[in-house]
Amino acid sequence: MDMTASHVKEIAQGLGADLCGIASVDRFSGAPAGAHPRDTLPECRSVIVVAKRFLNGTTRCDSTIPYTIVRNLLSGIMDRLTFDLSYELERLGFTGVPTGAIGPTNADPLTGRFMGLISLKHAAELAGLGRIGKNTLLVNDRFGNMIWLGAVITDAPLEPDPLAVYEACHEGCEACINACPVKALGDSKMNQIACWQHAFGAHLGGEWRIKCHQCRTVCPNSRGL
């Protein structure tokens, strides 16, 4: 049967997505080796990207525990959403493959960087859901950088969404670069190891948590444009 982009978005919204965008596979020509959608599904024709809004109050707390709770729960929610969307695509006669909200990841032997099956933020940009800012986060015009992403790789030939034309960052703004405690920003790619060693782990004798989200919080566009 025929499948339309509007039908896919209705399904995604019914499953709880706040945003849904579609990118045709030909937009991924710049993906690094191993992270192209067709490296996972050779028959891929489209990538469906979904997003849910992150709870804004978590970045106003003195403790990072609420932020950690919401991030962990949202990751599971996005995995479930893309899981259910993939099953619905299969029921309709297409292949759908969820890619994972936070992993598992692969290691790039050339760069030493860790990569998901695809880069969700780049897929979201290619699906028209926003632009990547200097903090290396996706910035959406409605929700700013306070969103969490998931994606489904599919062989369904879907009409792609137009790319976002707005800017993610104010001209000359370097708030995130200046606020990063370990100077992990400023180049085209985040210094993953420096960021993760600082931001993730036990805190003051307590359990594992996400200890830093300055790059998200200080952004003037964190709540939308």
Domain boundaries, the chain: 5-154, 175-217
d(CA 205, CA 176): 28
User: What confidence score (pLDDT) does residue 188 get?
Assistant: 80
- Write down the pLDDT at residue 1: 64
Tokens coding 9: 């978005």
Rg (Cα) of the chain, in Å, rounded?
A: 17
- Taking 3-state DSSP, the helix, strand and coil percentages for the chain, each rounded to the nearest 5, stand at 35, 20, 50
Cα distance between residue 149 and residue 61, in whole Å: 23
Low-confidence ranges of the chain (pLDDT < 50): none
- Angstrom distance (rounded) from CA 24 to CA 97: 15
Q: What is the pLDDT of residue 220?
A: 97
Would you mind telling me the total number of residues written for the chain in this entry? 225
- Residue 109 is predicted with a pLDDT of 82
